[in-house]
Structure 1
């Protein structure tokens, strides 16, 4: 019975933790050194070696110690597994947060894409903030005629002490003469170079009109929206909101056109009944708003 109990304990330990076989066997050899001829020196007389007697109490104690140690190792293994799972979950959450931050820092959409939502349902904002508009480049193959070049060169650029005002005035003269692509280029130069000038609100509004008059409502809408949102009390903010409605009408976006018209009437009642009354009423007649 003293030798059968360690054998049974060994089988049990192998079934529970196979990775601990070497340690269990080492413990067994220490407890029962006579069980393996490699660890027992035979007597010189040649008589069969007598196996050392091992008490049942000693064997039982050794087996109990082995099983207790296996239990402790299993508990530690479970704890390490739990810690690994917690660490893996934390790493996954960190990766998701990094992906979200990278998505938030992604490049802004092009102006043409932002014009699909120029107005919101709220009376406090006509639309979500738009990306900085850029003019649509003209096809490289299209070259102005010599007559057009000469006509543009004939328009004089003002030369005063206010260089910013000169840039705006030159853009206005180009637009007034019907040279819309040239006016777009000149006014873009002005608003980008002098964003804080008192003429900036005039420049952004006129740049939108230069695109709208050129049959490019997609390019016009972001400028009207940007000018309105920059400063709603600026001299041309109300004009830009009304022209934004016209751009939406040109794009067959009745819903947003109605939102812009409603906000114009609510935010600028003096303009709606005064300087811009005829334009406001004309635009109201072009759409059916609920």
Structure 2
């Protein structure tokens, strides 16, 4: 009985063996087909080819070199370049404005000086025309060809007048005058230029105007750069003005003012130019010179030369 049961069990176990083996083969075949289908539909359809949707962050290779933040530096450099460009434009504009102002000042000075310069310039050759026209005020001051011509003009005219009437030579200075002139001592201080000027001043102060004219003209010619030259030119004009020759005086006054407007006696010469124009009856140029003095030498107009400035202003109507 027992043996029969065991045999039956063995038969029962042995019967499904081919079926199990067959099922296993079928499973393996199905798996292969699924894998083949998966490879066809989804190439690389396993972990080796499909990356997961969520993966841990990969560590980037670290650069050990120092990193420079260029954004801030770039902004600073750009702003600096903009500032430099603005400064360059402002500098250029400033230079243009300065040049324009300088040009305007030069033109204004030339316009103002042209009216005063007309005091010493004739429109058709002053020296030759003045000798052929009347002695009345013409509104234009004749300019002598040089100092020596203006100084010797009276003597030459006297000689011409004498020769036209008689053959006797013109009378020279009297012995008394020569002796008086010789009595004027010439200083000897070691400064030759200053000595020549001082001698001319002494001659003028003593009333020897022709002799003072010659002496001062010689000083101005020989010492054009001496510190006394501005005094010499001004005093030379006064020697002519005091001698009753306002035209020649105006020439020297204007020359002193024009040669060195900052000279010690340039403002004095400008006022004496006004006086010369008043003596000639030339109100227009007298007013121009008076206005120029008030504008250029305002401090002196209220200081050292205030009396002379006020007196001349009262002698001429510039309204």
Bucket of the pairwise TM-score, normalised by the shorter protein? 0.5 to 0.7
Pick closer, same or farther for the CA change 1:255–1:112 going to 2, 3 Å: farther
| 2:151 partner SS | coil
Structure 1 unaligned blocks of 5 or more: 1-106, 119-128
1:176-195 counterparts in 2 under 5 A?
A: 176-195=205-224
Counterpart in the other structure of 2:127:
110
Runs of 4+ deviating beyond 4 Å:
115-118, 129-134
2:259 to 230, 235, 238: 230
1:30-69 counterparts in 2 under 5 A?
A: none
Counterpart in the other structure of 2:231:
202
For residue 230 of structure 1, report the CA deviation from its aligned partner. Answer: 0.5
Would you say the 8 A contact 2:144–2:248 is kept in 1? Answer: no
Structure 2 unaligned blocks of 5 or more: 1-123, 131-137, 160-169
Would you say the 8 A contact 1:175–1:183 is kept in 2? Answer: yes
Larger Rg: 2
Give me the whole-angstrom Cα distance separating, in 2, the residues matched to 1:261 and 1:130. Answer: 24
| 2:262 partner SS | coil
Pick closer, same or farther for the CA change 1:248–1:148 going to 2, 3 Å: same
1:152 aligned onto 2:193: no
TM-score (norm 1): 0.56
1:159-174 counterparts in 2 under 5 A?
A: 159-174=188-203
Give me the whole-angstrom Cα distance separating, in 2, the residues matched to 1:256 and 1:228. Answer: 15
For residue 143 of structure 1, report the CA deviation from its aligned partner. Answer: 1.4
Pick closer, same or farther for the CA change 1:263–1:195 going to 2, 3 Å: same
1:212 to 237, 241, 266: 241
Pick closer, same or farther for the CA change 1:281–1:173 going to 2, 3 Å: same
For residue 108 of structure 1, report the CA deviation from its aligned partner. Answer: 7.1
Pick closer, same or farther for the CA change 1:180–1:220 going to 2, 3 Å: same
For residue 227 of structure 1, report the CA deviation from its aligned partner. Answer: 0.3
